[in-house]
């Protein structure tokens, strides 16, 4: 009897990878080089600093008691419009006159390009607007024929630190704990419209009496709050001197908030001084 051979086993199915065609690979996204990224970052930062916000460092005592040497504030760039002066290094991509220009308010603290050369950035307070007439009489500010109210308040005490020294020996004093301070006579002025701020008056000075000055159209009259230690619109615009009555096209922006403040005592090689030198109470104060 003939034996029937066993049936051959059924062929096993081919692996799925063998019958399914692979999807075409997507082309890899080309990444920007570091140089391109850096260029984009520089452009974004430049635009932000030119048209939105920019930091500003206080190098002098002309705005005491509001601003101290070592303060870093944030400057809003858009309130008064923008011009070529708003751009880094004065790049000629905008006209000399302001675009979307607006007039500041009395009492605004502004940063501007200081006449006569228009190279350095200064900070002062807006006191007079176009059409106003201003004069100092015996240390009192007169605006449009009326004295601006000036009320004596408590003396301003400023600690002596590495970046702060007294204007002259007559203003030096010691506190009960033995620390040295500068003690200055302080007053509160109130402009028409209700804006109040403190000023320092160190005593009789030649600039306490000035002739009447009328503010021309398109200009502002600027003064420092430290009235006897400020070269401002009371003095003619000249190198090493005053700034005269400043064109509004020179305005760069308005001071908005304090970002940081240091008494100058920080040292790079002593990290703990980065904290001990900070004036923490000044952080976040407004204008």
List pLDDT tens digits, range 210-243. Answer: 999 999 999 999 999 999 999 999 999 999 899 9
pLDDT score at 36: 75
12 is catalytic: no
- The residue-averaged pLDDT of 239-257 equals 95
**Contact assessment for residue 109 and residue 66, using Cβ atoms and an 8 Å cutoff:** yes
Distance CA 240, CA 263 (A): 26
If one compares 92 and 244, the residue with the highest pLDDT of the two is 244
Does the residue 267 lie in any domain? yes
Q: Is residue 16 part of a domain?
A: no
User: Is residue 227 a part of any domain in this protein?
Assistant: yes
Around Cβ 11, how many Cβ atoms within 10 Å?
Answer: 6
Of the candidates 50, 62, 230, 261, the residue annotated as catalytic is: 62
- The answer to the question of residue 281 being in a domain is no
pLDDT for 1 equals 45
Residue 128: per-residue pLDDT: 97
What average pLDDT does the segment 69-98 reach?
Answer: 80
Rg for the chain, CA atoms, rounded: 32
Instruction: Tell me which residue has tokens 């006897």.
Output: 228
79, part of any domain: yes
In a domain, 12, yes or no: no
pLDDT at 91 over 70: no
Q: Name the band, by pLDDT with cuts 50, 70 and 90, for residue 182.
A: very high
The whole-number pLDDT of residue 49 equals 62
Q: Tell me, yes or no, if 261 is annotated catalytic.
A: no
Q: Are 235 and 207 in contact (CB under 8 A)?
A: yes
Average pLDDT over residues 197-218: 96
Name the maximum alpha-carbon separation found in the chain.
143
Mean pLDDT of the chain: 87
Please say if the pLDDT value at position 41 is more than 90.
Answer: no
Contact, 221 vs 133, CB < 8 A?
A: no
Look at the chain and report how many structural domains it folds into.
1
159 and 263 in contact (C-beta within 8 Å)? yes
What SS3 state is found at 44? helix
CATH number of the domain where residue 118 is located: 2.10.109.10
- Model pTM greater than 0.85? no
Phi first, then psi: give them for residue 248, nearest 5 degrees. Answer: -65, -25
Catalytic residue (one of 124, 230, 233, 261): 124
Domain encompassing residue 104: 50-276
pLDDT of residue 38: 72
Q: What is the pLDDT of residue 254?
A: 96
Q: Is 70 exposed, middle or buried (0-12, 13-18, 19+ CB in 10 A)?
A: buried
Averaged pLDDT for residues 64-93:
84
Check if the beta carbon of residue 148 is closer than 8 Å to that of residue 134.
Answer: no
Residue 176 domain-assigned?
Answer: yes
pLDDT-derived band of residue 50, with 50, 70 and 90 as boundaries?
A: low
Mean local confidence (pLDDT), 22-31: 57
The encoded tokens of residue 45 equal: 């930062």
181 close to 174: Cβ distance less than 8 angstroms: yes
What per-residue confidence (pLDDT) applies to 72? Answer: 97
Q: Is residue 155 in some structural domain?
A: yes
């Amino acid at each position: 009897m003939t034996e029937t051979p066993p049936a051959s086993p059924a062929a096993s199915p081919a692996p799925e990878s063998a019958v399914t065609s692979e999807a075409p690979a997507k082309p890899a996204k080309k990444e920007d080089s570091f140089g391109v990224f850096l260029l984009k970052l520089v452009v974004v930062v430049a635009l932000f600093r030119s048209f939105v916000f920019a930091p500003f460092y206080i190098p002098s005592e002309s705005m005491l008691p509001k601003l101290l040497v070592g303060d870093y504030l944030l400057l809003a760039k858009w309130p008064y419009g923008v011009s070529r002066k708003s751009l880094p290094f004065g790049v000629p991509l905008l006209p000399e006159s302001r675009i979307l220009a607006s007039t500041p308010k009395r009492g605004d603290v502004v940063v501007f390009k200081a006449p006569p050369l228009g190279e350095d950035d200064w900070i002062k307070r807006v006191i007079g607007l176009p059409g106003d007439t201003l004069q100092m009489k015996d240390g009192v500010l007169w605006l449009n024929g009326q004295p601006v109210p000036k009320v004596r308040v408590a003396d301003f005490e400023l600690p002596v630190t590495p970046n702060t020294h007294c204007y002259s020996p007559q203003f030096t004093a010691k506190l009960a704990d033995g620390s040295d301070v500068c003690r200055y006579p302080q007053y509160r002025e109130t402009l028409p419209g209700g804006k109040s701020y403190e000023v320092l008056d160190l005593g009789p000075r030649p600039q306490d009496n000035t002739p009447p000055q009328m503010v021309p159209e398109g200009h502002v009259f600027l003064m420092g709050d430290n009235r006897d230690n400020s070269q401002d619109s009371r003095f003619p615009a000249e190198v090493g001197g005053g700034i005269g009555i400043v064109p509004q096209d020179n305005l760069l922006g308005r001071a908005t908030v304090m970002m940081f403040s240091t008494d100058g005592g920080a040292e790079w090689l002593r990290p703990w001084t980065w904290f001990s030198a900070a004036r923490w109470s000044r952080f976040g104060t407004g204008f």
